[in-house]
């Protein structure tokens, strides 16, 4: 006789700390799934956006699964509906449940319980997105296979990308590109003391985080694209995270004397560097590719310090084609619990299907052309 599946719901992130932190010791887990990362998110972005934590822990015998979810009101047309979503949106490139032993769970049973919980919590749908095909150790995420069997489970229109550090990173550049970077480094060195630094203390981490935000905002204005930092909660997240000793931060910068020319704000975990928030000063030495110079120095640092992988995270930006040799498919799924949830699932799934089409790619390129021609 199989053991019954038990579900517990927690309204904060601290109460299930012992369970969560124990599960997060697994080498398969991504840095975005840890309690400390998501706690900072909840204290900043989550609270500002009205997200109410709804951490669901399933237990079956000795096996545990934790879903770090939250309740959020989302506007659809003239009405608003409450959904169950992953905590961490906007700053977490991957999301997934955390399992002690994934193979021991009947995913169909899990989905049925999630639907039932959503209904009791007055949520019209459970929306699970950014789920990677593989865990951080390269093993397959079984949860994805079950998700794809749902009526509204499918691959996202964008992927994540990564680079294996099996050779000198400079070999990925052609002779002209290498010469340009050597020339840029020489000219910058003539202007002062050029250095590559990694922030160790809280004061420097905060200073470089503030520089990263300022550089990002200037670049967003220059490109005429949406700026997340218009919402103060996003800046608060990165600044607070920079001060949390439990988050495996890796913040580095290309410095000219005491001034940062380019900054990278990322994570470092189990021989994996997460390349998340690169930024550079668009006003100082714009022709000398300070952002690329910092990236090369960071990649060389990773190669010299036995990193196995540089994770460029999600998004299909063209520059990743030069560096990355691995594509990681991402998935999403909707589990509706009431008629409104079915309508939302149908509409959003159709929209995602359009984004995956060839027509969508041509329309995107046309929009970019018109924007930069204006």
Q: Are 55 and 41 in contact (CB under 8 A)?
A: no
User: In angstroms, what CA-CA distances link 47 with 70, 71, 264?
Assistant: 11, 11, 26
Say if 317 falls within a structural domain.
no
The string of DSSP codes covering 131-197 is EESB-TTS-B-HHHHHHHTSTTEEEEEEEEEEEE-SS-GGGGS-HHHHHHHHHHHHHHHHHS-EEEE
Q: Are 324 and 159 in contact (CB under 8 A)?
A: no
Looking at the DSSP bridge assignments, the partners of residue 249 are 267
Say if 90 falls within a structural domain.
yes
Say if 176 falls within a structural domain.
yes
What is the per-residue pLDDT for 329? 96
Integer-rounded Cα radius of gyration of the chain = 22
Give the three-class secondary structure for 246: coil
Give the three-class secondary structure for 213: helix
Question: Do 172 and 85 reside in the same domain of the chain?
Answer: no
| CATH number, position 250 | 3.40.630.30
Domain boundary among 258, 273, 307: 307
Q: Are 316 and 159 in contact (CB under 8 A)?
A: yes
Contacts with 335 (C-beta within 8 Å, 6 or more apart), sequence order: 111, 114, 115, 118, 125, 126, 128, 150, 152, 341
Query: Sign of the CA dihedral 312, 263, 29, 116?
Result: negative
Tokens (6 digits) for 248: 């495996």
Give the three-class secondary structure for 220: helix
Question: Do 152 and 183 reside in the same domain of the chain?
Answer: no
Say if 318 falls within a structural domain.
no
What is the per-residue pLDDT for 218? 96
What is the per-residue pLDDT for 170? 84
Say if 161 falls within a structural domain.
no
What is the per-residue pLDDT for 120? 98
Question: Do 79 and 118 reside in the same domain of the chain?
Answer: yes
Phi and psi of 24, rounded to 5°? -75, -5
User: Domain containing 256: what range?
Assistant: 166-307
Question: Do 294 and 346 reside in the same domain of the chain?
Answer: no
What is the per-residue pLDDT for 168? 82
pTM: 0.92
Domain count, the chain: 2
Phi and psi of 280, rounded to 5°? -145, 160
Say if 243 falls within a structural domain.
yes
pLDDT (tens, 9 = 90+) of the chain, 374 residues, equals 468 899 999 999 999 999 999 999 998 999 999 999 999 999 999 999 999 999 999 999 999 999 999 999 998 878 899 999 999 999 999 999 999 999 999 999 999 999 999 999 999 999 999 999 999 999 999 999 999 999 999 999 999 999 999 778 888 899 999 999 999 999 999 999 999 999 999 999 999 999 999 999 999 999 999 999 999 999 999 999 999 999 999 999 999 999 999 999 999 998 999 999 999 999 999 889 999 999 999 999 999 999 999 999 999 998 899 999 999 999 999 999 999 999 999 999 999 988 887 555 555 555 555 554 44
Question: Do 147 and 174 reside in the same domain of the chain?
Answer: no
Q: Is 311 exposed, middle or buried (0-12, 13-18, 19+ CB in 10 A)?
A: buried
Question: Do 203 and 292 reside in the same domain of the chain?
Answer: yes
**Tokens 């770090």 correspond to what residue?**
68
What is the per-residue pLDDT for 187? 96
**Tokens 């498919």 correspond to what residue?**
329
Q: What share of the chain is helix, strand, coil (3-state, %, to 5)?
A: 45, 30, 30
Q: Are 116 and 5 in contact (CB under 8 A)?
A: no
Say if 325 falls within a structural domain.
no
Question: Do 88 and 193 reside in the same domain of the chain?
Answer: no
- Tens digits of residue pLDDT in 273-329: 999 999 999 999 988 999 999 999 999 999 999 999 999 999 999 889 999 999 999
Tell me how many degrees the CA angle 204-87-274 measures, rounded to the nearest 5: 45
User: In angstroms, what CA-CA distances link 290 with 115, 185, 287, 358?
Assistant: 49, 9, 8, 34
Question: Do 187 and 302 reside in the same domain of the chain?
Answer: yes
Question: Do 128 and 263 reside in the same domain of the chain?
Answer: no
Query: Sign of the CA dihedral 264, 70, 97, 38?
Result: positive
Question: Do 149 and 170 reside in the same domain of the chain?
Answer: no
Say if 233 falls within a structural domain.
yes
Question: Do 194 and 262 reside in the same domain of the chain?
Answer: yes
Question: Do 152 and 265 reside in the same domain of the chain?
Answer: no
């Amino acid at each position: 006789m199989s053991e019954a599946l038990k579900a517990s719901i927690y309204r904060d992130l601290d109460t299930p700390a012992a369970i969560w932190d124990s599960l997060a010791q697994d080498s398969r887990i991504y840095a975005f799934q840890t309690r400390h990362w998501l706690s900072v998110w909840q204290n900043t972005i989550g609270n500002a956006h009205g997200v109410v934590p709804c951490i669901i822990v399933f237990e079956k015998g000795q096996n545990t699964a934790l879903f770090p979810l939250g309740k959020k009101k989302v506007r659809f047309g003239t009405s608003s509906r409450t959904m169950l979503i992953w905590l961490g949106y906007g700053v977490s490139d991957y999301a997934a449940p955390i399992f002690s032993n994934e193979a021991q769970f009947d995913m169909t049973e899990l989905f049925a319980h999630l639907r039932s919980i959503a209904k009791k919590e007055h949520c019209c749908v459970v929306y699970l997105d950014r789920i990677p095909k593989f865990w951080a150790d390269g093993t397959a995420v079984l949860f994805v296979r079950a998700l794809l069997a749902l009526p509204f489970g499918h691959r996202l229109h964008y992927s994540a990308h990564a680079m294996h550090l099996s050779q000198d990173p400079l070999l990925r550049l052609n002779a002209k590109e290498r010469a340009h970077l050597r020339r840029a480094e020489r000219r910058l060195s003539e202007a002062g003391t050029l250095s590559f630094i990694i922030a160790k203390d809280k004061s420097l981490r905060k200073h470089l985080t503030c520089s990263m935000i300022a550089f990002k905002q200037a670049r967003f204005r220059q490109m005429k694209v949406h700026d997340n930092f218009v919402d103060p909660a996003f800046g608060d997240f990165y600044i607070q995270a920079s001060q949390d000793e439990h988050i495996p931060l890796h913040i580095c910068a290309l410095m000219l004397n005491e001034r940062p020319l380019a900054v990278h704000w990322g994570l470092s975990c189990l021989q994996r560097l997460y390349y998340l928030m690169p930024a550079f000063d668009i006003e100082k030495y714009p022709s000398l590719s300070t952002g690329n110079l910092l990236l090369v120095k960071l990649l060389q640092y990773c190669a010299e310090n036995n990193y196995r992988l540089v994770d460029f995270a999600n998004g299909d930006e063209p520059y990743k084609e030069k560096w990355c040799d691995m594509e990681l498919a991402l998935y999403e799924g909707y589990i509706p619990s009431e008629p409104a949830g079915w309508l939302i699932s149908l509409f959003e799934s159709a929209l995602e299907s359009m984004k995956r089409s060839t027509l969508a790619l041509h329309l995107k390129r046309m929009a970019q052309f018109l924007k930069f021609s204006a």
